[in-house]
Structure 1
Amino acid sequence: MPIESSAPITRRRVVALAAGLAAAAASPWALAQGPADGYPKQPIRIVVPFAAGSGTDAVARLIAQALGEALKGTTLVDNRAGANGIIAAEAVAKAAPDGYTLFVTTNTTHSANPSLMKSLPYDPVKDFTPVSRMGNLPFMLVVNPSLPVKNVAELIAWGRANPGKLTYASGNSTGIVSGATFARMARIDMLHVPYKSTPPAIADVIGGQVSMMFVDTAAGLATVEAGKMRALAVTTKERTKLFPELPPLADTPELKGFDITSWNGVYAPAGTPKPIVAKLNQALAGIANSASFRERSAKLGFDAFGSTPEEFAAFTVSELAKWKQLIQAAAIQPE
């Protein structure tokens, strides 16, 4: 039904999953019969930790629509922006573990916040049940077109020649950590301007109130294509197939080794019954690995793929360690 709005798995696994789904029904996201056949009996609320118009919100709406079709139910997108995703994460952690509250979130709430904050009202591991990783959302470095730079090397040179004049906006942890890491590695004096969400940060970069930002492609692509912002590079170590024309920041000598990747996944509250988690995983992994969903999400700059709950659980733990190291290396002090 329509939305009422208010580590990658192996090729063999993908083929096997696709074959199973095709045999079950004609719908590309239909489900085989299983132990949770009565689920869902009511609308599923999908909580998003960022505002409408953000990259995660755009991806979450695609997921919600596809999940509703797969489960033959209704999905409701619930944006709970603010406090770097903490408001939404706490709400999901305290929700009833009955399968009717899901969390489409990113490394902000489940990798970076434990190292960015002195204390959190939730535990990213103990308070959540991993359902499926859904893919990666590449970030790119964008600047206001009036800034006289055409590439990263020129940006670094301009920043060094004009100490204190470069400012960078952020609307999430990836933007925060990418900006601080860039400033440290490039040896540039920059001012950080934090925002509650990505859309107003983009607006101020376009308006010239802020020089630059690291933005997810889903949120920034349209303004880049319209010429309102200039994209210089991606934050991933390698070029992304979604935007092969953009070089990695790591290609610039001063930024060798720069590698920051944002990811998206779906969690349920801790204690959600295993049969429901299994049914949700079957649906979500099938969605993420389907050609139709991958094609639609690629237009947002999202690289979709699914996982098992076990794979996603192990990935969550490993990312906590990775982001802790990134934040410490960037000399970001917990708030």
Structure 2
Amino acid sequence: MKRRTLCGVLALASVALAALAMPTAFAATYPEKMVKVIVSLPPGSGADTTARFLAQHLAQQLGQPFVVENKPGANSFIAAKAVVDAAPDGYTMFVASNTPMVTNAAVFKKLPYDPIRDFTPVASIARFPMIIVVPASSPYKTLAELVVAMKAAPGKLNFASGTPSYQIAMEQFHERNGIKGTAVNYKGTGPAITDLAAGVCDYSIAEVSSVLPLIHGGKLRALAVADSQRHRELPDVPTAEELDHKGYEAYAWTGVYFPAKVPKEIAQRVGDIVRSTLNGSEGMAFIQKMGGTVFTGSAQQFTDFQLAEIEKTKRIVKIANIPVE
């Protein structure tokens, strides 16, 4: 009886040890097939271009294809849900912007996913400052002139809002200056900026890569960079800080996620490659060309950053009385 009991205990111990070793062994051979990289924005967007750059380098270093799959629409719900519903085996990856991972948590009462509990943070990628812009034909040559006009006629001027993130960034500026504008919401940054350049709207704010071509092309006028330092592509455009709007910053960011409960060894392995790629000369040059700044750190630092961003965004939504759907 004692021998049988001892054998049983040893058998259970062997199973337990094998189970503990499985994630490590699995990670050592990962990946053994194609990895799907989901993006919530259409081809040609900043997040899509970044995802394809990282996919190429991950494929080179891990020996299996990383294939980008675009799932735009529905406020990024479709893409986020596709990641959440995928098996947590490392074969579905999410290159996400701040919209599904932060903004949605602040502007929707109920989401079909939880931006914290349903994902494994892998690595942050980059930050892209936002620029306050007006049409090139606008009578407002400076940010101060725009603010004065808005104070003189509260709510009369309208702003093109390509995403909820941009609306929140603009409303934050309004709240800090005691001014009001009327949001004109668009289904995407492209249509919003196109209408702004045509003079349909009076002003807007958008991530630098989406407005830079139109600024350089003479279709838009940049009034201020919503960052602590001037942008290298717009050396003559002052920062909000320089214009006495101290502490006002607005930026878009991107990061890499897996579904929740993915083996941590896989997340660590992919995260290490993403960080080394971005911090290398080619990665730095790629992000700079897109108008951004490499923004990497540990998975825990990324988690802490995301939590802080959610709380900050919720606070802005409440103060600015932005409707929550």
Q: CA deviation at 1:326?
A: 2.4
Q: CA deviation at 1:243?
A: 4.3
Task: Pick closer, same or farther for the CA change 1:206–1:301 going to 2, 3 Å.
Answer: same
Measure the CA separation in 2 of the matches of 1:66 and 1:99.
16
* Structure 2 match to 1:126: 117
Measure the CA separation in 2 of the matches of 1:167 and 1:129.
39
Task: Pick closer, same or farther for the CA change 1:258–1:318 going to 2, 3 Å.
Answer: same
Q: CA deviation at 1:55?
A: 2.7
**Unaligned regions of 5+ residues in structure 1, if any?**
1-33
Q: CA deviation at 1:157?
A: 2.2
8 Å contact from structure 1 (residues 51, 197) kept in 2: no
Measure the CA separation in 2 of the matches of 1:315 and 1:130.
11
* Structure 1 match to 2:183: 192
* Structure 1 match to 2:9: none
- Which of the numbers 16, 26, 42 marks the counterpart of 1:51? 42
Work out the number of aligned pairs and report it. Answer: 302
8 Å contact from structure 1 (residues 82, 197) kept in 2: no
Larger mean CA deviation between 228-237 and 239-248 belongs to: 239-248
SS of aligned partner of 1:132: strand
Matching residue's letter, 2:58: L
Are residue 176 (structure 1) and residue 167 (structure 2) matched?
Answer: yes
Are residue 108 (structure 1) and residue 99 (structure 2) matched?
Answer: yes
Report the structure number with the largest CA radius of gyration.
2
* Structure 1 match to 2:323: 333
* Structure 2 match to 1:202: 193
Measure the CA separation in 2 of the matches of 1:324 and 1:241.
31
Aligned-residue RMSD, C-alpha: 2.2
Matching residue's letter, 1:264: T
* Structure 1 match to 2:205: 214
Q: CA deviation at 1:162?
A: 4.9
Matching residue's letter, 2:131: M
* Structure 1 match to 2:223: 232
* Structure 1 match to 2:15: none
Are residue 84 (structure 1) and residue 64 (structure 2) matched?
Answer: no
* Structure 1 match to 2:18: none
Q: How does 1:1-335 map to 2 (within 5 A)?
A: 36-240=27-231, 243-253=234-244, 255-335=245-325
8 Å contact from structure 2 (residues 128, 208) kept in 1: yes
Measure the CA separation in 1 of the matches of 2:29 and 2:49.
29
* Structure 2 match to 1:23: none
Q: CA deviation at 1:177?
A: 0.7
Matching residue's letter, 2:247: G
SS of aligned partner of 1:286: helix
Measure the CA separation in 2 of the matches of 1:231 and 1:313.
33
**Unaligned regions of 5+ residues in structure 2, if any?**
1-24
* Structure 2 match to 1:27: none
SS of aligned partner of 1:208: coil
Matching residue's letter, 2:204: M
8 Å contact from structure 1 (residues 46, 102) kept in 2: yes
8 Å contact from structure 1 (residues 285, 305) kept in 2: no
Matching residue's letter, 2:118: D
8 Å contact from structure 1 (residues 54, 199) kept in 2: no
8 Å contact from structure 1 (residues 54, 197) kept in 2: no
* Structure 2 match to 1:12: none
Matching residue's letter, 2:321: A
Larger mean CA deviation between 130-139 and 316-325 belongs to: 316-325
Measure the CA separation in 1 of the matches of 2:216 and 2:120.
38
Measure the CA separation in 2 of the matches of 1:134 and 1:269.
18
Residue by residue over 1:277-324, the C-alpha shift from the partner in whole angstroms, topping out at 9 and shown as x without a partner, is: 121011111111111111121011111132222221222222222222
8 Å contact from structure 1 (residues 62, 297) kept in 2: no
SS of aligned partner of 2:29: coil
Q: CA deviation at 1:273?
A: 1.2
Matching residue's letter, 2:310: L
TM-score, normalised with respect to structure 2? 0.85
Matching residue's letter, 1:274: K
Larger mean CA deviation between 261-270 and 58-67 belongs to: 58-67
Identical counterparts, % of pairs: 36
Matching residue's letter, 1:251: E
Residue by residue over 1:43-94, the C-alpha shift from the partner in whole angstroms, topping out at 9 and shown as x without a partner, is: 2222112223333233223222332223232222222222322222122111
TM-score, normalised with respect to structure 1? 0.83
SS of aligned partner of 1:210: coil
